[in-house]
Every structure is written in structure tokens, then in C-alpha cells.
Amino acid sequence: MAKMNFGGVEENVIIREEFPLEKAREVLKDETIAVLGYGVQGPGQSMNLRDNGFNVIVGQRQGKTYDKAVADGWIPGETLFSVEEAAERATIVMCLLSDAAVMSVWPTIKPYLTAGKALYFSHGFAITWNDRTGVVPPADIDVIMVAPKGSGTSLRTMFLEGRGLNSSYAIYQDYTGRAFERTIALGIGIGSGYLFETTFQREATSDLTGERGSLMGAIQGLLLAQYEVLRENGHTPSEAFNETVEELTQSLMPLFAQKGMDWMYANCSTTAQRGALDWMGPFHDAIKPVVEKLYASVKCGNEAQISIDSNSQPDYRDKLNEELRAMRESEMWQTAVTVRKLRPENN
């Protein structure tokens, strides 16, 4: 385990050089890994493990998602089973179902979590708030987590490109004494770039904060607010979208992703630099109280309960699709459709 300096703070990280794929294969050579769920994370993690030479099977109920697994090369009766049979066959059960699905199938899969097995998550939600979810694991198994910092699609795409998506890892329960090596081997096997240490509680809290904040909720709110102000002051949809979204995603994000915000600033005009430096303070001061309120709501379990209550409704999928449809059909994101078609690579 390496000590790495992050902005003056030392953290424990695992890099591929110290825990290579060959070592991961050796650690898990006698394990049968069952990936339960073939939704967001399931395809990427299971196919990466398969391609890396691990003994992996998939557990998925019949339906469109099951058909997708078949299309991806999982063979019914050989490498593709029901959730229950996959859990029974496995020594490591990778629970990659949605938070709502985990709660509903937990009574079904718990009997198959027999002594010495490992229960793996990629999100700390079910365990962190198990007083609300009911997911209380048996005492005689390992309970571990590897959480890729991105979607399963990104994990798979980067794997195929020979790159890795960074992941956090945590150990909630070490019954066998092998929880650490099992965890890291799985992290390397699914294609992590490097792994950094966390806890189930920290991962769940930071993840819910990030999704509601800068990764999704806040970014949509900020983009929409600026787009609306430009439109209300006579700017065309094309101009408003380009100045709000297109330049950000196509030009500036790659710059600060590569070398940092200061480097991106240095590669913009002096007018842009001065304005950005002057206005970042007022934006910070306006937004930080909202983030503090958000974090408090996550930490106390309120956001988890809202999610549980919403996702437990019989019509939750219809309501969700309606909200997403409204976003998709808004002027800003309909403008995006046209702008994307006009990009040089599409002409």
C-alpha cells in the first residue's frame, strides 16, 4: 500500500504496479464471482472481470436486461442464472443491483450468504443506512466494497481503451482474514486505475452529496440558470447554449481535467481570467450554504429516506421518466441536439 500526497494530505492508495493483474488472478483463482444485476455497473464490471480471466457468472431476472446479458455473451445455464442460483453458486456475491432492488431481493439472497463468502457492493447506501434498508449481513462473511468513480459504461469504455477508472475501496466486515486481498483483487480485476481507501459511510455520504451537487444536480441548475438569463436578455438559443454548455464541455473541461483549473485559466484570454477570478468568490459564497444544507440532509439519512420512499412507489419509474422527458424536451437540451449534429466529427 502506497502513501500518496493529495494537496498536502497523505492517503493510502493501491496502484496496479504493486498489485498487478497476475496477483489478483492468483488471489481469486479458487473463487466463483457472481455479479447480481445487469443494470448500471453490472455489465462493465462483469465483462471486465471476464476479459481479465476471472471465473465470473451473472445473476439477472428474465426481461430486457436479461436479454442484454445474453447479447453480451453470457450463456444461460452456464454463465447466466437467476439471482438466487448465481448467489448460491458464488463464493463472492457482487451485489450491483439498484438500491431499491437490493432492498427488495435481500430476503431472497441472504440465505445463500453462507460462512466464508464475501458480499461485495459498489455503493455504501444499503449498509450505511441499513436501519432503513434492512440490509444487515450475517456475521460470518466478508463485507467489502469497490466503488468506481464513474458509470459502468465509462468503466468498460476506459478498460477497452487500456485505461482505468479510479475507485474507492472499503472493508466493513472481515470474517475470513482475507477481506483486504479479496477487495483489492476485485478492484484490479474490474479495471480500476488506482484504489483509494474509504469507509462505507464516507463513500455513501460523499456519493449522494456529489450526485446532488457538482456532478448532476448543481451542474444542471447552474447551466439552466445561465442559459435562461441569456435567453431572457435576447440571446439566441444557439448562442446561449454555446456560451453555457458547449464551450464548457468541448473546450474547457478537457483543459482542467488534464492539468488543473489554474492551467485552464492560463490558456484563456486575460479578459476571461480576470472575470473568472473576480466572480468565483461570489459564486462560492452563494453556493456553499446550499452544499452545507445538502450535506447535512445526506448525513442525517434524510436523502436516503427520500430515495427509499420514492423508489418504493409502484409508479416511480413512470414519474421518473416524465421528469426526465421534461428535461430532455426543454429548449436548452433540444438546442443541444442540433449543436451536436453540427460538430465537425458529425459532418
Joined grid coordinates for residue 268:
484563456
Q: How far apart are CA 81 and CA 242, in angstroms?
A: 47
Joined grid coordinates for residue 337:
441536439
Cell 450554504, residue located: 289
Alpha-carbon torsion, ordered 29, 200, 7, 267, to 10 deg: 90
Q: How far apart are CA 70 and CA 78, in angstroms?
A: 11
Give me the long-range contacts of 138-141 (CB less than 8 A, separation at least 24). 138/110, 138/113, 139/173, 139/175, 140/114, 140/115, 140/116, 140/175, 141/113, 141/114, 141/115, 141/116, 141/117, 141/173, 141/175
Query: What separation, in Å, do the N-terminal and C-terminal C-alpha atoms of the chain show?
Result: 48
Residues classed as catalytic? 123
Q: How far apart are CA 313 and CA 320, in angstroms?
A: 11
Are residues 185 and 18 in contact, defined by beta-carbon separation less than 8 angstroms?
no
* Stretch (H or E) spanning 98: none
